[in-house]
A = this chain, B = another copy of it.
Amino acid sequence: MKALVTGAAGFIGSTLTDRLLSEGHAVTGYDNFSTGRPEFLADARQSTRFQLCQGDLLDPPQLAAAMSGADIVFHLAANADVRRGPEHPRKDLEQNTIATANVLEAMRQCGVHRIVFPSTGSVYGEPGIFPTPEDAPFPVQTSLYGASKLAAEGLVAAYCEAFNLQGWIFRFVSILGERYTHGHVVDFCRQLAQHSGTLRVLGNGRQRKSYLYVQDCIDAILAAIERAPGKVNVFNLGTDEYCTVDESIGWITARLGVSPAREYAGGERGWVGDSPFIFLDCSRIRSLGWRPALRIRDAVERTVAYLQENPWVMDRE
């Protein structure tokens, strides 16, 4: 197949791009390099089946040009900065909601019928059911990021209905692994590289979170587009476990061989819109035969190992 991958220079986008190329597909990578890293595309650029288009999703003509001839769109580009949402509310609206509307319009224009859309467990807000299933009670949004992804999910579904597209929506827990650039593991590793004796922790350390290894995430996406034939297919993506922030810190510091004093900012939530407990019911995607290969602890440790070997990733916030 010929795929358009938006956010192709990002953490998950570049990993997906490499996987698609390794399976013999053709990929057009679309990225504005606002947060994407050219280094992540070094392998992809070796392939004659890869084409890079430096462009912005808020530029519809350029987007349509890149999309022409694609069979499927993997719309990975997003503003993934949940924590700083309130500092720039327009960013989530533009880069997540409006960008997705533009992708869908370009698909309609170019006659592309299949879209993979990564959403987030944050759309559940602060759910009352754990593990949280896809048909959990209608949630109330607690973060601008979650709201922008919910909006984009709705657009994907409505376009599928109105224009006969087929969509796969994945509600991710936090993804970890090689090329990870954003989130608590990189925050902690960056801090500990600067001062190994102290670690500032947002919240009280007892927030319970779920994580998934990036290759497991991509396995799940590829399994779903092959095996889930519905018009709008919604899947939670995570492991069958969770850990506390404190446990995660224990694994990170052990792997780095440091014993910092932990300074907690306090409070049940690390920031406005932080969900104190994220644990998704993933039986739907498991029913397709998918299983994650790595447990959370393994995923955290691989991420730390990657950051140790690639400290340049931590140069940029």
Binding site for B on A (CB under 8 A): 85-86, 89-90, 93, 97-98, 101, 104-105, 108, 124-125, 134-144, 146-148, 150-151, 153-155, 157-159, 161-163, 232, 234, 272-273
Residues of B contacting A125 in the complex (Cβ-Cβ under 8 angstroms):
157
CA distance A18 to B124 in the complex (A): 38
A162 touches B140 (CB 8 A): no
CB-contact partner of A144 in B134, B162, B232, under 8 A: B162
Residues of B contacting A86 in the complex (Cβ-Cβ under 8 angstroms):
162-163
Q: Which residue of B lies closest to A134 (CB)?
A: B138
Max count, chain B CB within 10 A of own CB: residue among A104, A124, A140: A140
CB-contact partner of A101 in B89, B138, B155, B162, under 8 A: B89
Residues of B contacting A159 in the complex (Cβ-Cβ under 8 angstroms):
89, 144
Residues of B contacting A138 in the complex (Cβ-Cβ under 8 angstroms):
124, 134-139
Copies of this chain, tallied across the complex: 2
A143 touches B155 (CB 8 A): no
Shortest beta-carbon distance, A268 to chain B, in Å? 14
B142 touches A161 (CB 8 A): yes
Q: Which residue of B lies closest to A144 (CB)?
A: B158
Identify the 8 closest CB pairs spanning chains A and B, nearest first: A151-B151, A147-B154, A135-B137, A147-B158, A141-B157, A141-B154, A86-B162, A150-B154
B137 touches A158 (CB 8 A): no
Residues of B contacting A139 in the complex (Cβ-Cβ under 8 angstroms):
138
Max count, chain B CB within 10 A of own CB: residue among A136, A161, A232: A161
A272 touches B146 (CB 8 A): no
Jot down 6 A-B pairs with beta carbons below 8 A, ordered by A: A89-B159, A89-B162, A137-B138, A140-B157, A146-B158, A162-B273
CA distance A273 to B164 in the complex (A): 12
Shortest beta-carbon distance, A124 to chain B, in Å? 8
Residues of B contacting A273 in the complex (Cβ-Cβ under 8 angstroms):
158, 161-162
B154 touches A146 (CB 8 A): yes
Q: Which residue of B lies closest to A127 (CB)?
A: B138
CA distance A89 to B158 in the complex (A): 10
A234 touches B140 (CB 8 A): yes
CA distance A207 to B24 in the complex (A): 48
B151 touches A154 (CB 8 A): yes
CB-contact partner of A147 in B85, B136, B157, under 8 A: B157
Shortest beta-carbon distance, A131 to chain B, in Å? 14
Given A93-B101, A101-B93, answer yes or no on A158-B134 (Cβ-Cβ < 8 Å): no
CA distance A142 to B155 in the complex (A): 9
Given A137-B138, A147-B154, A157-B141, answer yes or no on A93-B98 (Cβ-Cβ < 8 Å): yes
CA distance A232 to B139 in the complex (A): 11
Shortest beta-carbon distance, A113 to chain B, in Å? 15
Residues of B contacting A147 in the complex (Cβ-Cβ under 8 angstroms):
151, 154-155, 157-158
Max count, chain B CB within 10 A of own CB: residue among A104, A139, A153, A273: A153
